[in-house]
Structure 1
Amino acid sequence: MTKKITISLPDDLAERLALEPNVSAFVADSLRSRVAGEKTREILRSVGFKLTDEGLARAHAEMEQAKASITPELRAQAAQLQAEVEAARARVRR
């Protein structure tokens, strides 16, 4: 079931949405991702993690730094290792 709603957005976001072939699907996927993140944080807090905006920002910055350090050579090595693992799994299944 779906429901049609009307929203107002800042110009930059409206322009970004204009690029999407299916705006409703894009918005729904984005909102689902946001809700999943909220649920994850809620679960982590309920089991004792002390999440702060500063801590989350620091973790995001560290993740971006780690992503930036992945060179094409490392990416190629990872792809090769993955191919080897998949080939070994295929041999075991036979």
Structure 2
Amino acid sequence: MKRFTVSVPDDVAERLEDVENVSAFVTSAVRARIDQETAQQMMQRHGLNVTDEGVRRARDFLSRRRTEVASDIKQDVIAA
């Protein structure tokens, strides 16, 4: 195991102040980023070019769909 000293912006520091185990929190975040980068590299090897704009559009689409589905469920519950 290695020890690192890092500087973070105030908003990140504020969030970390509420975390009981900062090392575990940061480790989890870094591993998630590694997984994301690995997946992106794999997609690129198979001819899929993932861009920041494409990721933003996909997130927007999923957000809209979640809202639509939640609205549909609410209407079904009210109608029942």
| TM-score between the two structures when normalised by the length of structure 2 | 0.82
Which structure is higher in RCO with an 8 Å CA cutoff and minimum separation 6? 2
| Corresponding residue pairs, total | 75
Deviates more, 1:24-33 or 1:63-72: 63-72
Quote the Cα distance in structure 2 between the aligned partners of 1:18 and 1:63: 31
Counterparts of 1:1-94 in structure 2 under 5 Å? 2-71=1-70, 74=73
Identity across matched positions, percent? 36
Structure 2: 5+ residue runs without aligned partners? 74-80
Structure 1: 5+ residue runs without aligned partners? 75-94
CA RMSD of aligned residues (A): 2.0
Secondary structure in 2 matching 1:40 = helix
The structure that has the greater radius of gyration is: 1
| TM-score between the two structures when normalised by the length of structure 1 | 0.70
